[in-house]
Amino acid sequence: MVKNCLYMRLLVILVTTILAFVLTGIHTLKGLYGGTIMAIRIKYRKLFLLMVMAILLALGQLVAVAQTAHLVVNTHRLNIRSGPSARHDIITSVPGGTELPVISQRVGDAWVEVAGPTGPGWVNSTYTVARGDFSSVPNELTPNLGGGTAIPAGAPHVVVNTAYLNVRTGPGVGHSILTTVKGGTELLVTAIASGNIWYQVETSAGTGWLNRTYTASRGSFANVATIGGPELATGATDLPAGTPHLVVNTAYLNVRTGPGVGHEVLAAVRGGDKLVVTAIDSGGVWYQVETSAGTGWVNSTYAVGRGNIASVTRPASTEREGAHLSGPTPRAVVNTAHLNIRRGPGIGHSVTATVPGGSTLRVLGLSGDRRWYLVEGSFGQGWLNNYYVVFRGDFSQVPIVS
């Protein structure tokens, strides 16, 4: 791990100075009775000058170190990769607070080359804090740095809400980068992909796709087409006062046939639609609602509750999932309010289920980077990030799954 060089160098310098002072003092005292008072004074003056020089040297080194360009990790753990993108292999990961000296930076995106504990690598600077003087750090221009196009008044568009954002050739990180746009760039939205995360936009480099999470929406999206998405449904109007309902708080929201992403999509509703709530699942996340397409379930994370939600029927308390698992059986206890179960070991894989806190899931395997567990539950099998669980049982029974 990269050490905190400021404090380590200061400690070494101070210890060295103190030792020099003590040793010189001892030597002086040994000759105390064999020399004159004037000679002793001269020795102490020399010692004082040496100490002043050592302190000045230490301050000079500290100033130089403080000015050296480096990043301080500002998240729990940060991956260092073999190249400047999330598609490159993970070399290692470092904990929050680690200081990473900067080797080079790219103009046009957030990736920075650093000196890691195992050698050079790349990190996403979004999860770090910059320190020191970056004026002498070599810069690499990101190819295809683009911009927006003309946007008619009131037209649906997004404003990039991060330093730089990649626009891709398709709706997903698996697609190649078409161009990169700077923060503040306004981009006309022409379509929305199924799932409502990826927006099709117009750029100076052509039509591409971006993740709306890193943007702010502007204009009216009422007539924006969905690509590969379900049919659109509508909610209720003129609800009596106190009626428990949800107000959709995203551009589009999928209504499913059951309480979980593993169920089929019945329809989709637009942002602002009001959906009467008729039931709430045991996890408290999925709400049963009424739409023009029929009764279905929505994830309440993307909506705002209104009316007397407390009056809605909730299932009776039942035993938590996996409560029967015990002894040496490898198992993971969910240690957060809700946790996503994915199809593969990484956030790039789709979510198959969401389980509530306290659920216990049998652990079947461990990913190569040791950050993801393959688990089994009522939903079948899937992967979870082991940062959000507590392991119980015999870990030696858990194999590495490629």
Distance CA 310, CA 23 (A): 76
Tokens 């289920």 belong to residue: 353
Eight-state DSSP code of residue 142: P
Return the structure tokens found at 344. 């593969």
Rounded CA Rg of the chain: 30
Q: What is the mean pLDDT of each run of 10 residues along the chain (402 residues)?
A: 46 56 52 52 61 61 62 90 81 90 79 89 89 81 77 92 85 80 92 82 93 89 77 86 92 84 80 93 86 91 91 72 88 88 87 85 92 90 92 92 79
Distance CA 13, CA 224 (A): 64
Q: 350 to each of 172, 268, 269, 398, how far by Cα in Å?
A: 11, 18, 21, 24
Who contacts 316 (Cβ-Cβ below 8 Å, separation ≥6)?
none
Q: Which amino acid is at 344?
A: G
Predicted local confidence at residue 364, as pLDDT? 94
- Report yes or no: 210 and 156 within 8 Å, Cβ to Cβ: no
Predicted local confidence at residue 62, as pLDDT? 46
Helix, strand or coil, per DSSP, at residue 272: coil
Predicted local confidence at residue 361, as pLDDT? 94
- Interstrand relation of 265-270 and 232-233 (parallel, antiparallel or unpaired): parallel
Q: 172 to each of 14, 24, 157, 227, 240, how far by Cα in Å?
A: 53, 68, 19, 13, 42
Predicted local confidence at residue 378, as pLDDT? 83
Helix axes 5-30, 37-67, angle to 10 degrees: 170
Q: 84 to each of 139, 207, 246, 355, how far by Cα in Å?
A: 13, 24, 41, 33
Who contacts 26 (Cβ-Cβ below 8 Å, separation ≥6)?
none
What contacts 24+ positions apart, CB below 8 Å, involve 104-107?
A: 104/137, 104/138, 104/139, 104/140, 105/134, 105/137, 105/138, 105/139, 105/140, 106/139, 106/140, 106/141, 106/142, 107/139, 107/140, 107/141, 107/142, 107/145
Predicted local confidence at residue 65, as pLDDT? 46
Who contacts 6 (Cβ-Cβ below 8 Å, separation ≥6)?
62, 65, 66, 99
- Report yes or no: 254 and 268 within 8 Å, Cβ to Cβ: yes
Distance CA 188, CA 181 (A): 13
Cα angle, residue 10 at apex, residues 9 and 15 outer, rounded to 5°:
100
Return the structure tokens found at 187. 């981009």
Distance CA 206, CA 178 (A): 8
Distance CA 334, CA 123 (A): 29
